[in-house]
Structure 1
């Protein structure tokens, strides 16, 4: 074979190989681009869903906080105004009313209710207007007793709104937004029992930044990371939904209890006007009304007291137990009415 023909053959073979590699590189680059785009879309979809769940959960906690304040400033206040004027109240000495003898209502419960009413009045007085969202979210999440336990009368509002601003879970739910002086989502990195919110904050550009490398192997790695991030975000979304359901359950319990409570308060006020202030002189039926009213007040207090979330953002076992107990109480109320 003449030497020039040999060179031409080699050049043709090499050129063909080069064209093949170029085509393969183009296909790989195109595939890498598609995979990276898909990875981005996976994380973005999970992030959008989590944000929707986060907002819904934060709103439900604020609504529960508002309901707690409303009941404390209305029904509980009305109950205490009359009940505290009645003398010689002793449910254990109710002849002929065996069910009242079993009713053990500690006077301490009503002392604590007075403190709650005072606290609620200060919270609703407008001093917390600038941080209402965070304060009410904390009020809904942690319960009144915990708020009172960590705050004196003078610093109750500041402590409550501060808890909303610094707690990672509530910051994540929007309770501690930057506008409210909190840390916002950026501050809530340790969210919902250890799930990391950080990846959700840098979704835009996290995966897309690798696409420029046009590296198919790296694109597959990106997608695997995207799936892992999406799994974490979806788990957080489910946790948000679970918390929201428990929050709505407590809201519903308070609303139903208040439905029974208000008519009883009116009856108690009528009894006080008609029969005076000495419980021992009341008729058997009147004593039963007073006892039922007091029992309902204590049940409402248990719902107000019970925290829904732990500091780690997990649902408390206590809230589940309280919900079960109150459902039983409401069932008995329906039977006795």
Structure 2
């Protein structure tokens, strides 16, 4: 009994098996490394940006890229707080809140960048990119921009791939969103380089167009992540970390239906962050009146299926709620 109670009421950190705790420790290290890399990148891009719209867009995107790792690091601290009278479900959903914060910031900043870039095109603002002195030699400032953007696009791609490998075992959507953004940073760098080179060959409008391309990418990330974050926080059916049908739900339903005293069973599963809260509705077979021990044994069995099945309530009912049936969609 104590094992079930601990599983269902512990903090988010306590809910993780050792493998996932190690993955979380690695993810935390990667996010601190990401913040360090971003600090250097923001400084370098800001130093050479000049009047280029594309470079400004890239700089603002880099500034915005601080939000997901910071939100992740804060959330991983908050989930350590155990449940109490005010938060009886614990603080697992701090992961969802962090996801929402990051997604909203992406959407707002993407819209801001598009507005600025479109106005630059409308007002025919031709960004000046002149000469600069480096080691006593005069060179076109655009080459510095190209070098900085080419170099800055490499570390995020590597970090993104490393984070992606940890997002699945942790079932962490904030980490997945951050990894997805990092992996796509090469496209931002490429678009910015093209915009800067466009200025160099006299096609001034390519700079603003490149900034718009970057902004559209930001908005697409924002919309996708905002939809996922809002759905999680409004108790949509639990999905995988990359928003696909989760096989664990079918598995726990099949296990429940296999119980000798169960006629029908369907689960209502909500995503709490790293873990799931499960309400298993069961219709006993005719003549069966499940005892407290049988309900407890089923609850314990479901807890043992997977670490993500963190909190389970078994609810005997005369019939399955209609919204859980296939006909309800």
* Fold similarity call, TM over 0.5: no
Bigger RCO of structures 1 and 2 (CA < 8 A, at least 6 apart): 1
The structure with more helix, counted as a fraction of residues: 1
Query: Scaled by the length of structure 1, what TM-score is found?
Result: 0.30
Return the structure number with greater strand share.
2
Q: TM-score, normalised by structure 2?
A: 0.30
Choose 1 or 2 for highest CA Rg.
1
